[in-house]
Structure 1
Amino acid sequence: MADELELLRRANPVPSGDPRFQDRPLNQHAERRLNQLLHSGRPRRLGRWAWSLGTAGVVGVVVLTLTLSGSTTMPAAAAPRPLVVEAGSTPVPLDRIADRAASDGSLPLRQGTHVQTWSMSLTSGAEARPPITLPEERVVRWKADGSHTELVVATDPNHPGKPVITDADPVPRTVEDGHVLSRQTYPPSWSDAPPWARPPHDAERLRAYLDEIDRLDAMDTSELLDAVAELLDNWTLGSRENAALARVLADAKGLRPAGAVTDRLGRQGQAYVYDDTARSGRLMLILDPATGAVLGMEDTVTKADPEYGLKAGDVMSYRAWMR
């Protein structure tokens, strides 16, 4: 277990002892297919975060007071606070980011991903418990023969060495930092459908590629960002793809530049915010201002939902992509 965690940390661009970790707040993968089933109103938004749906209305069943074998009760994970844009910072237009990415040319396209996620697990109904945050790190690597491996580890870089809550076993419990949740090898596969197909590096074709990932009649900005997240969960983009993606995002209705922000791994980025008023949410995309690479994506609820124990400002999910 420790070996896998050490490999992950060596791949992380920010050292675990970096003091910026200690002062930062905490944030699985977007359930796109579930979103397609629950594509209107509040149920669709919850679909982005839901891990499972049960007949009793349970979403990602988690009990905060489970008694662990040989230990006391499970501690609740502190909910991360939303990232805050630096006061007085100058927003950078996405067109300018695209130009910088196009002129950079140093980053190659690579199939596979390295992503740290923080996602909220919820319950509803009479037996509902307070929400908790589940941190995981995932590395997917493809081989020349078309096979690939996936390693998923329970770890929170904001609290290195401390126990981590997981519900992937499937009984919710605490595990040691670096606990391997899954390690799988998949046989060769060469799909020609997005997001497994090689992404194009011009904006018009990339927009069509993302639209094929979404597969809904009319892709709005929220759905576009969901498709971007799914793309980045399968590919590590190169400079040309970063430039094309920035140009696609520059045309996204309602996505506005907000200014400088430090992401949850201590990296400096530029924030772009979309207020999803129809679903009472706020999406923040964070890009590297020099390379155009997407560093992270934050999903925050803007309206309290007592049924699920949510308060306005709760961070529902956060993904931090790394090379």
Structure 2
Amino acid sequence: MADELELLRRANPVPVDGPHFGDGPLDHHAERHLDRLLRERPAPLRRRTRLAWGLAATAVVAALVSALLFTGQTTAPAVAAPRPLLVQADSTPVPLTTLAERAGAAVADGAPKLRKGTHVQAWSLAMSDSEPPITLPQERIVRWNADDSHTEIVMATDPRHPGRPVLTDEDGEPRPVEDGHVLSRQTYPPSWSDAPPQSPPPTNVARLRAYLQEAAYSKTPLNTGELLDAVASVLGTWTLGARESAALARLLADTEGIRPLGQVTDRLGRRGQAYVYDGSGTRRMLIMDPATGAVLGLETTFTKAEPEYGVRAGDVMSYSAWMR
């Protein structure tokens, strides 16, 4: 509990020793932190959940198995972690420099345009030190209005298994819900913040790198893993246009440690080129459109087993698939 309280204190956008009283206006830095707390839900990675969570998960799975046995159903909800994406064996890896050139050529007609808002399918692994991990699939749609307010809708759905029950852990208790069940629908007021990722991403590579660093709330240059995480954060606010995708492809081509693997078919059935970065205990795979350089998805897998959480090397930690 002490650790959790300390995390909350650090996240507090208006600390007691801050320049404003709790009921006063937020400064620029505080508003950015508050906006991040309201909009972003951290992936449930490596958290030590309460024993009650593990018992509830066991009860849910047991109830589902019983229902399947006694009702004669042959379809089961998505419980196990999705398998990692496989690279096509006979495909030829496309260097990022080549992809960046293709993306630059695709800018000629100026379409598509940059758009504020996002539509993403995501899978994340919820882990407990007492029960096997389960996968929580969600779909998130964010739409921005002319007055800079925005609405966020989060649904429990898994396109790999349309129509099947979906597991969710809303309110801290895992339970099955119907496919397409709306978990939350919230409207947020306008924000005056113009700091990344609220401000539009630039199309100049040097400025884009600085933009991603600021979006990651870092005062020091980002390593490759942090850079990819910052890209995912920006894609939680923006759907990149042709110019922004080309700039990002050029930036990634100049980033150390990212290597091409070949062609993959993502979880939405789209063909893309895979680029991987091996970090400490994890592998990030970026899937990009082979013609335009647009980011289609980002998959993070474990490269080392975590026996205390029931995680094996190769298990998918999280996956995001972005759509226009």
Q: Same fold (TM over 0.5)?
A: yes
Partner of residue 118, structure 2: 113
Structure 2 portions without partners, runs of 5+: 1-6, 12-40, 69-75
Higher radius of gyration, 1 or 2: 2
The reply on whether 1:319 has 2:320 as its aligned counterpart is yes
Q: Secondary structure at the match of 2:198?
A: coil
Aligned-pair distance for 1:291?
A: 1.2
Deviation string for 1:206-247 (max 9, x for gaps)?
110001122332411110000000010110000000000011
**Residue type of the alignment partner of 2:254:** D
Q: Secondary structure at the match of 1:141?
A: strand
Aligned-pair distance for 1:190?
A: 3.4
Task: Provide the rounded CA distance (Å) in 1 between the counterparts of 2:186 and 2:303.
Answer: 37
Q: Secondary structure at the match of 1:64?
A: helix
Deviation string for 1:21-41 (max 9, x for gaps)?
xxxxxxxxxxxx99x99xxxx
Partner of residue 87, structure 1: 89
The reply on whether 1:222 has 2:225 as its aligned counterpart is yes
- The correspondence of residues 13-92 of structure 1 with structure 2, limited to 5 A, is 49-50=43-44, 53=47, 63-66=57-60, 72=67, 77-92=79-94
Partner of residue 253, structure 2: 250
Identity rate of aligned residues, in percent? 61
Q: How many residues align?
A: 275
Deviation string for 1:70-127 (max 9, x for gaps)?
x859967121111111112111122222222222232100001000001000001xxx
Change (3 A) 1:107 1:170: same
Scaled by the length of structure 1, the TM-score of the pair is 0.78
Structure with the bigger percentage of helix: 2
Task: Provide the rounded CA distance (Å) in 2 between the counterparts of 1:56 and 1:155.
Answer: 25
Q: Secondary structure at the match of 2:249?
A: helix
Higher relative contact order (CA 8 A, sep 6+): 1
For the 8 Å contact 1:59–1:122, the answer to whether it is kept is: no
Partner of residue 276, structure 2: 273
Q: Secondary structure at the match of 1:65?
A: helix
Task: Provide the rounded CA distance (Å) in 2 between the counterparts of 1:247 and 1:287.
Answer: 13
Structure 1 portions without partners, runs of 5+: 1-32, 38-46
RMSD of aligned C-alpha atoms? 2.8
**Residue type of the alignment partner of 2:162:** P
Change (3 A) 1:257 1:123: same
Q: Secondary structure at the match of 2:59?
A: coil
**Residue type of the alignment partner of 1:308:** Y
